[in-house]
Amino acid sequence: MPRARSRTIEEFQTSAAPQDQGSGCLSGFLIPPLAVLMVSLLLAAFAIRQPAPTPLSGTSAPVGVGLAPFFRPEVLHWQDSILRWAAAANVDPNLATVVMQIESCGDPRATSRSGAMGLFQVMPFHFTVTDSPYDPDTNALRGLAYLSRSLQAAGGDARLALAGYNGGIGVIARGDWTWAAETQRYVRYGAPMYADAQRGASQSAALDEWYAKYGVSLCRQASQNQ
């Protein structure tokens, strides 16, 4: 709605009392501009003290925020640990949970045909010789460190970070059509899961479809190994 037009000085003078009766020009002309100036200075000082708004990204989440409720119970079993691990890695815990959901469904003993291990399916070359790859804390440390690097390479874009986590950080700079079929599938389910978590959804159609097509046996195994 347009704001009301301010009266000009000429209009104010026209409506004022005749000069020989005294128009109160000191209060009519000087005080209002001074008052406006004082208010403007106070508002400016207040604005300077306010912190700049933080843009939404995949790299952080408000303190105390829990995980989306639609993740599988085998994954929510790790909720307290995920919150701790994600905070240490400076990634959104819901994004970390999406990775765990697709990678292992919360199975700490999961092993892929390519040799990836544990909750976050970390490849052997990411571990040191003294690491215990299946130890949940160690596995999360190495896995989420790589997710954090992927996020940095993707400029905070969670979708591209998921592609980098699955296909290698090098795929982030390439067009989607060049990604391996597995990476495309990873993003096709992972990105909408994360979007559902960000908007506070209680259910996720993407997770339900992923579970029906790929997750039943994986999650059953996770339940047995917890």
Residue 117 phi/psi, 5-degree rounding, is: -130, 150
Residues 72-101: tens digit of each pLDDT:
999 999 999 999 999 999 999 999 999 999
Local structure of 97: helix, strand or coil = helix
Q: What is the pTM for the complete model shown?
A: 0.73
Local structure of 167: helix, strand or coil = helix
Catalytic status, residue 103? yes
- Domain locations in the chain as residue ranges: 9-49, 73-225
Contact indicator for 98, 209 with CB cutoff of 8 Å: no
Annotated active-site residue in 11, 103, 182, 209: 103
Among residues 138, 58, 66, which one has the least CA distance to residue 95? 58
Residues 55-66: tens digit of each pLDDT:
335 565 543 468
Across the range 138-145, mean pLDDT stands at 98
Is the pLDDT at 134 greater than 70, yes or no? yes
Q: What CA–CA distance (Å, rounded) separates 88 from 76? A: 19
Class of domain 73-225: mainly alpha
Q: What CA–CA distance (Å, rounded) separates 146 from 27? A: 67
Among residues 179, 182, 70, 175, which one has the least CA distance to residue 79? 70
